Amino acid sequence: MEILARMAQMKELDRIAIEERGIPSLELMENAAQAVAEAVINLVGPAKQPKGADGPACIGVIVSSGSGQPTAEEQREMEEIRSIVESKNTDPTQRIAVFCGPGNNGGDGVAAARILREAGYQVRAFLVGDRAKMTPDERAMEEKLKAAGGELESLDLNDQRTTVWMSTCDCFVDALFGVGLQRPLAGEFLALVQRLNRTRTPVVSCDLPSGVHGDTGEILGDVVQAKVTVTFTCAKPGLYLDAGAGRAGEIRTVDIGIPWEVLNSQIWRAPEQNWSMPSDGFRNLPRRPVDGHKGDFGKLFVLAGSEGYTGAPNLAARAALRTGAGLVFLGVPREIYPILAVKCDEAMPFPLPNEYSKILEKAKNCDVALIGPGLGQEPRTQRLVRSLLADLDIPVVLDADGINALCGHIDILDKRSAPTVLTPHAGEYARLTGTSLPVRDRLTAARTFAKEHRCTLVLKGHGTVTAAPSGQCWICGTGNPGMAKGGSGDVLAGMIAALMGQKHLAGQYTDLSELAAWAVWFHGKAGDVCAEKLGEYAMLPSDLLDAIPQVLMECTEPEI
């Protein structure tokens, strides 16, 4: 896992380092630029040396402004463009275009341009935006670039010589905006980003791909599609959340010189930490006790299913068993019991008794209750859900219609003393809280709800957020669009309940929120296994059940 820092936290880290610790801001900028330059070099390789002509490199189409013979100015422009294209034949030195905004992120770009130039690359640095708004640090870096023989040019996308030169580049550096972007891209910034995205030239972004909101992952107008994002000091939540997660490419977090003790006090010891769980993250599950029995691995009570929704209870129960649950008791409405009796081999379905006391007794004899998959929204069913939630003193995982039953009755959740996990998607969250869609800041929304209602909230979506009552949050980096099919959430609910019920796992955690976060990660990883084998179009939620064993085997501690 990797700890994350929100935009306000990053600004405070920089302030403390510069104002209180006396670290020169130009030193931090130089370190950031060095990391960006290294990322570019890793992409394009060492600088090549000029050689003799070996044939045409590419074909350029030049259009004059009118009919007939070109003017002298047009002829001169055509010759310059031809020279730009043909020079690729005799000089294969990689060409790098660095696009710099007027802020300190732009300063990182200007410094990176100088470093790359000194390393032997052909580099042009372009200023995008108002030169009058350049920060003092960026101006200082511009002077260093000039001393090295370079120049910070004002970008003109209407200049055909510039755009043709850009078309011959081997890499672009995006240093337009860092963590300070708050409004949608517009004007020349938007035009440049759209042009960059139309090319196949790889882009290295500084700190964040320009156009991504650093805290939420929201796309502000449009966004650079990066090949690599070099993010400074700490990764940002927006790199892992929603649409932003798909635009960052490979994420490299680099140290730029913020003292460890400052990071420790401001980030590592912060009361509300944010963690990313990237796709290559790893969790060593402890081996199961050799003397364990089925009771040690959790007795689950599952209340699920209704007419027309017989798949959900089966998927949830089988997922729980695949994730290690010892016993799964599946309570379903009497009218669908015969169907589940045929479907279930390992889980133990039973028709729900008419007497509430018998249902409650059955649930109380278990370690964890899972309520909601495919349950329906009949008034009688919703009353049953609320009664169980009020009367049970065991952990409860509330999913789908179990969550819907709480709408207008959130006080029942607030009165619970035992752990509760809710697993809403955005629509269910909006209904429960009365908020509008879309949920623009899922990290803040999940944290706020979990703290206010003393529960664990798993807010599903691209970069599912798991929030603990303490305010700690985890953002999942596994999963793919092939999982966006009815039934995937039922599998997840079963997996969460199964991990919570296993005594050797639950005993490792002061609260069960992190265990729920790992269930989300395992679920997404199983989805990634399915996508690799079957493709995102064809994979089914039931395929996740077959992928769970592979994921858990890879994540279990090896024998000593």
What is the average pLDDT across 101-109? Answer: 96
Asked if pLDDT for residue 361 goes beyond 70, the answer is: yes
Q: How confident is the model at residue 55 (pLDDT cuts 50, 70, 90)?
A: very low
The better pLDDT of the pair 498, 67 is held by: 498
How many residues appear in the chain? 560
Asked if pLDDT for residue 258 goes beyond 90, the answer is: yes
* pLDDT value of position 249: 93
Mean model confidence pLDDT for the chain: 91
Asked if pLDDT for residue 59 goes beyond 60, the answer is: no
Distances (CA, A) of 373 to 213, 305, 312: 34, 6, 5
Residues 6+ apart with CB under 8 A from 62: 78, 81, 82, 160
* CATH number belonging to domain 297-554: 3.40.1190.20
AA letter at 220: L
* pLDDT value of position 58: 43
DSSP 459-509: E-STT-EEE-TTS-EEEE----GGG-STTHHHHHHHHHHHHHH-HHHHTT-
Give first-to-last CA distance, the chain, whole Å: 24
β partners of residue 175: 100
* pLDDT value of position 60: 43
Residues 6+ apart with CB under 8 A from 313: 302, 304, 305, 330, 332, 340, 349, 373, 374, 490
What is the average pLDDT across 408-422? Answer: 96
What is the average pLDDT across 96-114? Answer: 97
Q: Is the domain defined by 2-44+87-270 classed in CATH 3.90.25.10?
A: no
What is the average pLDDT across 5-24? Answer: 94
How many degrees, rounded to 5, is the angle at CA 444 between CA 419 and CA 408?
Answer: 55
Q: How confident is the model at residue 508 (pLDDT cuts 50, 70, 90)?
A: low
Residue 207 contacts residue 233 (beta carbons within 8 Å): no
The better pLDDT of the pair 60, 318 is held by: 318
Lowest mean pLDDT among 158-172, 283-297, 396-410: 283-297
The better pLDDT of the pair 251, 92 is held by: 251
Lowest mean pLDDT among 54-63, 197-206, 320-329, 485-494: 54-63
Residue 396 contacts residue 371 (beta carbons within 8 Å): yes
What is the average pLDDT across 3-21? Answer: 94
Q: How confident is the model at residue 509 (pLDDT cuts 50, 70, 90)?
A: low
Please give the sequence-ordered ranges of beta strands (E in DSSP) within 498-555, or none if there are none.
Answer: none
pLDDT digits (tens, 9 = 90+) for 128-137: 999 999 999 9
Within this chain, domains 2-44+87-270 and 297-554 share the same CATH topology: no
What is the average pLDDT across 353-373? Answer: 97
Neighbour count for residue 44 (Cβ, 10 Å): 18
pLDDT digits (tens, 9 = 90+) for 118-173: 999 999 999 999 999 999 999 999 999 999 999 999 999 998 889 988 998 999 99
Distances (CA, A) of 34 to 38, 46, 189, 231: 6, 15, 24, 12
Asked if pLDDT for residue 51 goes beyond 70, the answer is: no
The token pair that represents 526 in the structure block? 């199983």
Residue 330 contacts residue 349 (beta carbons within 8 Å): yes
pLDDT digits (tens, 9 = 90+) for 452-466: 999 999 999 999 999
Q: How confident is the model at residue 400 (pLDDT cuts 50, 70, 90)?
A: very high
Q: Domain spans of the chain? A: 2-44+87-270, 297-554
Phi, psi of 509, deg, nearest 5: -120, 135
What is the average pLDDT across 29-38? Answer: 98
Reduced to 3 states (helix: H, G, I; strand: E, B; else coil), residue 296 is helix
Instruction: Give the rounded percent of residues in the chain with a pLDDT score beyond 90.
Output: 79
Instruction: Give the rounded percent of residues in the chain with a pLDDT score beyond 70.
Output: 94
User: Which residues in 151-183 are b (16+ Cβ under 10 Å) and which e?
Assistant: ebeebeeeebebebbbebbbbbbbbbbbbebee
Single pTM value for the model: 0.88
What is the average pLDDT across 329-349? Answer: 95
Q: How confident is the model at residue 1 (pLDDT cuts 50, 70, 90)?
A: confident
How many degrees, rounded to 5, is the angle at CA 430 between CA 429 and CA 434?
Answer: 120
DSSP 110-143: HHHHHHHHHTT-EEEEEE-S-GGG--HHHHHHHH
β 274-277/2-4 pair status? antiparallel
